[in-house]
């Protein structure tokens, strides 16, 4: 199979989908560091569940061409909120780095899409 922009886009979208699915499951489980972080940032308990559900929805929309733009838009909105939270709370680079990687993957997928 020859590499082309469509297959590369699908690979990037799949990577983003897997990462958002993992993040969604972590947030929906409300365990460990993620639970402590949301509390430390001053968010109500339900907000972590909402974030997890939106992350899973984004992941579910990404694999298919027909819904990919919607999934990327939702993922981008989630990352804007995440980056805002991290910067507002002056989180160390260790927290910021994954958010920047997620954001870069979203932008790259959109760029390949054209």
- How do the pLDDT tens digits run along the chain, 114 residues long? 455 656 888 999 999 999 999 999 999 999 999 999 999 999 999 999 999 999 999 999 999 999 999 999 999 999 999 999 999 999 999 889 999 999 999 999 889 876
If we measure between CA atoms, which residue out of 15, 20, 13 comes closest to residue 109?
Answer: 13
Number of domains into which the chain is organized: 1
- What is the pTM (predicted TM-score) of this model? 0.89
> HEC profile for 31-60?
CHHHHHHHHHCCCCHHHHHHHHHHHHHHHH
The CA distances from residue 80 to 31, 34, 52, in Å, are 23, 18, 15
Range 95-104, long-range pairs (CB < 8 A, 24+ positions): 95/37, 102/16, 102/19, 102/20, 102/23, 102/75, 103/76, 103/79
Domain span including residue 108 = 5-113
């Amino acid at each position: 199979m020859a590499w082309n922009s469509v297959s590369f886009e699908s690979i990037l979208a799949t990577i983003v989908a897997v990462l958002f699915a993992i993040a969604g499951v972590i947030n929906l489980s409300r365990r460990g560091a993620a639970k402590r972080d949301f509390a430390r940032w001053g968010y109500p308990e339900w907000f972590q569940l909402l974030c997890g559900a939106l992350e899973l929805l984004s992941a579910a929309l990404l694999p298919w061409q027909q819904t990919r733009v919607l999934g990327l838009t939702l993922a981008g909105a989630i990352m804007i909120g995440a980056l805002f939270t991290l910067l507002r709370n002056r989180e160390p680079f260790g927290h910021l780095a994954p958010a920047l990687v997620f954001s870069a993957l979203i932008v790259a997928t959109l760029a390949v899409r054209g």
